[in-house]
Amino acid sequence: MKSTVHSPIFRPRKLLLTLLLGAALGALTSGQLPMNAALAQAAAPAAAPAQLVSTALAKSEAVQQTVLGIGNALALASVTLHARVDGQLEEVNFQEGQDVKAGQVMVRLDPRTYQAQLDQALAQKAKDEALLANAQNDLKRYEDLIKEDATTQQVLDTQRALVKQVQAAVQVDEAQVSYARVQLGYTSIVAPISGRVGARLIDPGNIVHAADAGGLVVINQIDPIALQFTLPESFLPAIHQALAAEHRQRLKVEAIDRSSKESLGVGELVLVNNQIDMGTGTILLKGRIPNPKHLLWPGQSVNARLTLTTLNNVVTIPSSSVQRSQNGLFVYVVGADAKVHVQAVKVAQEEGSRSVISNGLKAGDRVVVDGFYRLVEGSTVKDASTAAPAAKAAAGAKP
């Protein structure tokens, strides 16, 4: 049997290799420690950059308290011209769509028949006036004769009765003359109001009658024009209170275009209806609005803004800053540390592009009006109005 003999010369070499390998591993381990720290630092999340937003300050100012209703423009007055007498339509003195003045002759009928009736009445009156003059002369002679007993009292009384009879006939003639003159006047039809005429409903040459239902033409008064609108009955106490104020004789009414939201005219309230519509729970109101440029037209659908009073020292912010969530209305308020927090607010009313805040803000608070994307409670923000000049200055400083 063979036996293996290990030479003692190899043992120091093995020990040396072991020591060298340990030293190398130690050096590698000691060099890896700072590398791991650097990797850990790079892997740490960086701070979120400030988001660019637009902001505005809440202001304390005077605001008019208004209510908004839905309504329609109506002609302030509308008249359909009718013939008052029968006759042939001889001439039409207007153009369709023309503005006319009150008293302007619009239509003329053939007057010859009514002129003849007037002439006949005048002739009858002249005849009876001649009979009256003769009867009065006879009465005077009989009164002289009775003094000399040259006639009887009966003859005198009969003559006096005859004078009164002829006087009554003359009065009847005067009435007939007046009637005939009125009938003749009806052959010229004038505009009773100033306004704009519509389409002509009948042409010259036709025979018209006083009983015709259609009429000749319609005149609508559109300057000024009426604005009729409705409001919920809950506003009625506030309207009565505003009307009763000593410094307010008339409440201001403004017509607003539904699409563009532009003002079409400003006038005054002239009617609060005397009853509430039980079916809709609304009250009918009417305003009178000057309309020289004809921006309002009868039948036009518009919004009506009724001014009740002026609210002093109320907090207002741009309406664009008000956001809505499932919990209600809120705004993002920017703190002194440039961080935002969510603030619930209560909007009393909206006036144009500004909202009146009754609860949740005070004058001087800075709110976000644009740049809401990714904003959450505690987000850091930067105002675009200050960021833009800084970026422009930095760009100008580069070589």
CATH of the domain at 234: 2.40.30.170
Q: How many CB atoms lie within 10 A of CB 91?
A: 13
Same domain, 330 and 385: yes
Identify the pLDDT of residue 3. 42
8 A C-beta contact, residue 166 and residue 135: yes
Same domain, 95 and 200: yes
Same domain, 259 and 235: yes
CATH of the domain at 156: 1.10.287.470
CA 385 to chain centre: 36
Q: How many CB atoms lie within 10 A of CB 222?
A: 22
> Residue 360 — φ and ψ, nearest 5°?
115, -20
How would you write the pLDDT of the chain (399 residues) with one tens digit per residue? 344 444 444 444 554 445 555 555 454 444 444 445 444 454 445 556 788 999 999 999 888 888 899 999 999 999 999 999 999 999 999 999 999 999 999 999 999 999 999 999 999 999 999 999 999 999 999 999 988 888 889 999 999 999 999 999 999 999 999 999 999 999 999 999 999 999 999 999 999 999 999 899 999 999 999 999 999 999 999 899 888 875 656 899 999 999 988 999 999 999 999 999 999 999 999 999 999 999 999 999 999 999 988 888 899 999 999 999 888 999 999 998 989 999 999 998 887 788 999 899 999 999 999 988 888 888 899 988 775 554 444 445 554
Looking at the structure of the chain, the number of domains it has is 4
**CA atoms of 267 and 265, how far apart (whole Å):** 7
Same domain, 295 and 323: no
**CA atoms of 138 and 154, how far apart (whole Å):** 14
Out of 169, 198, 215, a domain closes at 215
3-state secondary structure 309-325: EEEEEEEEEEHHHCEEE
Same domain, 322 and 371: yes
Give the pairing of strands 282-289 and 217-232: antiparallel
Q: How many CB atoms lie within 10 A of CB 340?
A: 25
User: Two tokens at 148?
Assistant: 């000399």
CA dihedral 217, 218, 224, 226 (to 10 degrees): -170
Is residue 12 in a domain?
A: no
Using DSSP, state whether 54 is helix, strand or coil.
strand
E strand or H helix that includes residue 392: helix 384-397
Give the pairing of strands 328-334 and 340-344: antiparallel
- N-term to C-term CA, the chain: 92
8 A C-beta contact, residue 128 and residue 166: yes
In the chain, the amino acid numbered 153 is Q
Q: Percent helix, strand and coil across the chain, each rounded to 5?
A: 35, 40, 30
Same domain, 242 and 339: no
Is residue 45 in a domain?
A: no
Same domain, 95 and 196: yes
Same domain, 300 and 259: yes
Identify the pLDDT of residue 46. 55
Question: Hunting for tokens 């009393």 — which residue is that?
Answer: 348
Same domain, 265 and 209: no
Is residue 9 in a domain?
A: no
Is residue 397 in a domain?
A: no
pTM of this structure: 0.67
8 A C-beta contact, residue 351 and residue 100: no
Using DSSP, state whether 200 is helix, strand or coil.
coil
**CA atoms of 335 and 381, how far apart (whole Å):** 10
Is residue 195 in a domain?
A: yes
Identify the pLDDT of residue 117. 96
Identify the pLDDT of residue 7. 42
CA 98 to chain centre: 26
Using DSSP, state whether 286 is helix, strand or coil.
strand
Which structural domain, as residue segments, surrounds residue 292? 65-75+221-310
Is residue 328 in a domain?
A: yes
Please list, residue by residue across 182-209, b when 16 or more beta carbons sit within 10 angstroms of its beta carbon and e when fewer do: ebbebbebebebbbbbbebebeeeeebe
Same domain, 103 and 209: yes
**CA atoms of 256 and 98, how far apart (whole Å):** 26
User: Two tokens at 128?
Assistant: 């009876």
Question: Hunting for tokens 């006096």 — which residue is that?
Answer: 160
8 A C-beta contact, residue 219 and residue 102: no
Out of 281, 310, 339, a domain closes at 310
Identify the pLDDT of residue 62. 87
**CA atoms of 318 and 369, how far apart (whole Å):** 7
Same domain, 201 and 89: yes
Spatial CA neighbour of 183 closest among 116, 127, 106, 125: 116
Is residue 46 in a domain?
A: no
Q: How many CB atoms lie within 10 A of CB 125?
A: 19
Is residue 294 in a domain?
A: yes
Same domain, 127 and 236: no
